[in-house]
Structures are given as C-alpha cells and as structure tokens.
Amino acid sequence: MNSPEQLPEHTLSFGSSDAQLENFTDSYVLFKETTRKYREAYEQLEAQFEFLNIRLEETNLELRKSLEEKDRVSNYLNNILESLSGGVLVVDPNGEITLFNQAAEVITGRTQEEVLGKPYADIIGLDAGRENTVLHTLESGNGLSNKEKDLKRSDGRRIPLGFSTSLVRDEAGRVLGAVEVFNDQTEVKRLEAEVQRTHTLAALGEMAATVAHEIRNPLGGIATFASLLGRGMETDDPRRHLVKKITEGIGRLNRIVTSLLTYTRPLRLNAHRVNLIDLVEEATAFFEIDLERTRQDIVVERSYPEDELICRIDPEQFQQVILNLLQNATQAMADGGTLTVQLYLDTTDTPCGVLCIRDTGVGMDDDVREKLFTPFFTTKEDGTGLGLVTSKKIIEAHSGHIRVESQPGAGTGFFISIPQ
C-alpha cells in the first residue's frame, strides 16, 4: 500500500519544500477523487450498457415474434388466395400484375411466371373494352361489381367471365393498385341455355301432342276412304297409281304422328336388371337381317366385353334407341361403309355401361352437331327429326347420358352411358 496518506512521516521530512509537498498532496487527492469518479461513471455506464443490452434483446425478440406473426398471416392469406376457386389478380399503379392466384392460372391458361410483372393489357387484353378492366378502376377509382365479359384464353378459346374490381389502398389511403376477381361462367351459361331449351321443349311438346291427336282422326278417315276407292278399281286402272300415292302419304304422316306421340308422351320406364350385351346383340342382329336385304355395302362389326354388363334398363325402350342410332348410321353411309357396335365398362367415374355406335359416313359440321337434339331438326328429305330427341329422352330417363363425336367426312360416333 503506497498511497500518500499512509506514507510514514520521515519520508516527507527531507529535501523538498513544504509548498511542494502540499502541492503534490493536493494533486494526488484530486487524482484519487477523479479516478473514483471515473470508476463510478464507468460502473454506471456498465450498468446502463447491461440495461440497454437487455432492452435490445427484448426488442429483438418482439421483432422476431412480430415477423413470424406477419409471416404466418401472410402465409394464411396466401393459402386462402390460392385455394379460392375464383381467379384473383392484383395490379400495381402502373397496371403491371403483381399477384395472380392458382385459379387465375387455370381460368386464363397462363402461369404466374408468365404474367407477374407484365402489363395487364398484354396479358388479359383490352378486347372486352378498357371500361371492363381493372385498369379502368385504377384510372377512375371506381370499382366494378358483378359484371360480365368474354376472355380470350391463352389457347385462343373464348370463355364468358363474371368479374368485379376494386382499388387497393394502404392504411393511409394511398392507392397501392387494384384487384380483379373473376370466375369462369361457362358452366353457368350452359345450364342457363339448357333450362331455356327445356322450357321451349316442354311448350313445343305440349303443342305437338295436341296437333298429333287432332291429325290422327281425320288421317284414319282418309286411309279408310283411300282403300275403299282403290278396291273399286280394276287392276290396270291408271288411277290406282294416284290411290297408291295417297296411301304412301298417309303412311308417312302416320309415322310422323306416331314419333311425335312417342316423343311427347310422358315416359314410364319398366326397368329391370339386364345384360346389356344380350340386349344390344338382339337389336343389332334384328337390324342386320334387314340390312342384308337392302344394303350389302355396309359391314357390321361388333366389339363386346367378355364379362356380362348388367344395367337397369327398360329393354323395349332401349331397343328403340339402338334402332334409331343404327338407322341414322346407315343413312349417313349412302356410299357404304362400316358400322361398329361397341360395348364396354367405363369405371373412370360412376361405373357405366357404354354403348358406342360408330359409322364411317358423312359426319357432321358444327352447325348440325349443335342442333342434333332439337325436335324436328333433320337434314333428310323424309326425316322427322325426332329420332335423336326421343332417344335422348329415353336415355335420360335411365339416368344415362348421350354424346357425339363427329367431323365432316370422318364419320360419327354416338356414345351412350348408362350407370350400372
């Protein structure tokens, strides 16, 4: 311990003057005091540093938590966006796409990579008019709600779109961009058209039934008088030819009236479990007998599964369907060809027995294909235009479904599926 207060008296007693000593002692005390102050200050600083460190750590923790929370919320929102069945796209104030969810990809046929950062006008296009786009909302500030427009997909297909738009703002009210939410309305439109068609058909059917009944009675009368007229004539009487024409005309009218009544009459099914293979083969064989007599230029081919194909079916009505389709197929092959009758089990959805009747005939263009199931639509001189509508009605009464595949000049295939 060499601190000056504790120095022994004798060390101070020689050489130096008193004033010098006093000076030195004062300086030393001052130095000592200063050091103490510094130490105190240092300790204070240390404590403060410790405190700040703890605060910093706390703040860091809070920050991390809030970031995690932010991530969680953003993931959550993203998941919602991605799982929405409606398309959602967002554009920034420059009209460039900044968000494009999965449904938007499906509806437009474009991928996120393709569209993000690209101008809306380049991707979605302005065909529907600028006033029907999110750009209009961006420019005018006015949102659009529940509007409709057509969209040209990336594959060129046009689809009806239902859409709404609105501005996106931050908390301070600044415009960050605009959002467009849209839905593919194809199925809705199809159903609307179907409902419309059903209404028309119902009205048409009612009228047709009345007319058919009204025609039947006088027709019966004409037939009776014509046959009476013919009976009184000699075999070589030239007027017999006229009577024959009348009888033929009556026959045709009668067929039309009968098909009309079949078509308009409410269907009552007498369905039971039958092996579709037996049923189809029976009708085909029956038809073939007639064909062999009249159309040697047509070859009939069959393709049946090995196992039986059991469905609940009204055999009589279903045979009518098969005969209608076979007849159409042969009529489509005026220059001969191949008629294929195929049966198989389709298990892709609900298990269904499928009957496919295919020909190598003239086929159909879009126009014919669209009108195929419209009553009285025919392209034949002596057609009634009731064969397919009646068939469709019978198939639908079996909870079945009929569809067609056909190209002009490339033949036609009708597919009928009946749930097992």
Among the listed residues 102, 166, 258, 378, the single contact to ligand ADP using CB under 6 A? 378
Decide which of ligand ADP, Mg ion, none touches 361; Cβ closer than 5 to 8 Å per partner kind.
Answer: ligand ADP
Among the listed residues 332, 341, 395, 402, the single contact to ligand ADP using CB under 6 A? 332
Shortest Å, Cβ 259 to ligand ADP: 8
- Rounded to whole angstroms, the Cα distance separating 372 from 364 reads 10
- Taking the least distance from each CB to Mg ion, the nearer of 363 and 387 is 387
To which residue do tokens 């750009």 refer? 135
Q: Which of residues 354-373 bind ligand ADP (CB under 6 A)?
A: 359, 361-364, 368, 372
Stretch that binds Mg ion, among 146-154, 323-331, 338-346, 391-399 (CB under 5 A): 323-331
Among the listed residues 384, 393, 394, 395, the single contact to ligand ADP using CB under 6 A? 384
What's the burial of 70, exposed, middle or buried (CB within 10 Å: 0-12/13-18/19+)?
exposed
- Rounded to whole angstroms, the Cα distance separating 238 from 226 reads 15
CB 390 within 8 Å of CB 263:
yes
CB-CB neighbours of 174 under 10 Å: 9
Give residues with Cβ within 8 angstroms of 348, minimum separation 6: none
The reply on whether position 412 binds ligand ADP by CB under 6 A is: yes
CB 245 within 8 Å of CB 211:
no
- Rounded to whole angstroms, the Cα distance separating 76 from 87 reads 17
- Taking the least distance from each CB to Mg ion, the nearer of 328 and 340 is 328
Shortest Å, Cβ 327 to Mg ion: 6
- Taking the least distance from each CB to Mg ion, the nearer of 108 and 328 is 328
- Rounded to whole angstroms, the Cα distance separating 75 from 81 reads 10
Shortest Å, Cβ 122 to Mg ion: 50
The reply on whether position 385 binds ligand ADP by CB under 6 A is: yes
CA distances from 106 to 84, 111, 182 (A): 12, 8, 11
- Taking the least distance from each CB to ligand ADP, the nearer of 234 and 335 is 335
Among the listed residues 87, 205, 387, 411, the single contact to Mg ion using CB under 5 A? 387
- Taking the least distance from each CB to Mg ion, the nearer of 271 and 356 is 356
Q: Which of residues 217-276 bind ligand ADP (CB under 6 A)?
A: none
- Taking the least distance from each CB to ligand ADP, the nearer of 192 and 396 is 396
Decide which of ligand ADP, Mg ion, none touches 291; Cβ closer than 5 to 8 Å per partner kind.
Answer: none
Decide which of Mg ion, ligand ADP, none touches 105; Cβ closer than 5 to 8 Å per partner kind.
Answer: none
Q: Which of residues 268-327 bind ligand ADP (CB under 6 A)?
A: 324
Q: How many residues bind Mg ion (CB under 5 A)?
A: 2
CB 288 within 8 Å of CB 327:
no
Fill in the amino acid letter for 107.
I
- Rounded to whole angstroms, the Cα distance separating 339 from 356 reads 10
Write phi, then psi, for 300 (nearest 5 degrees): -105, 125
Fill in the amino acid letter for 12.
L
The reply on whether position 330 binds Mg ion by CB under 5 A is: no
CB 303 within 8 Å of CB 342:
yes
The upper half-sphere exposure of residue 408, i.e. CA atoms within 13 Å in the direction of its Cβ, equals 4
CB 353 within 8 Å of CB 305:
no
The reply on whether position 391 binds Mg ion by CB under 5 A is: no
To which residue do tokens 């009888």 refer? 247
The reply on whether position 328 binds ligand ADP by CB under 6 A is: yes
Helical H runs in 154-275?
Answer: 186-231, 239-264
- Taking the least distance from each CB to Mg ion, the nearer of 185 and 328 is 328
- Rounded to whole angstroms, the Cα distance separating 263 from 266 reads 8
- Rounded to whole angstroms, the Cα distance separating 28 from 6 reads 13
Decide which of Mg ion, ligand ADP, none touches 372; Cβ closer than 5 to 8 Å per partner kind.
Answer: ligand ADP
Find the distance separating the first CA and the last CA of the chain, reported in whole Å.
Answer: 110
Among the listed residues 124, 279, 291, 329, the single contact to ligand ADP using CB under 6 A? 329
- Taking the least distance from each CB to ligand ADP, the nearer of 183 and 391 is 391
- Taking the least distance from each CB to ligand ADP, the nearer of 44 and 379 is 379
Among the listed residues 304, 344, 377, 415, the single contact to ligand ADP using CB under 6 A? 377
Stretch that binds ligand ADP, among 15-23, 217-225, 289-297, 376-384 (CB under 6 A): 376-384
Q: Which residues bind ligand ADP (CB under 6 A)?
A: 324, 328-329, 332, 359, 361-364, 368, 372, 377-380, 383-388, 412
Interface with Mg ion by CB under 5 A: which residues? 328, 387
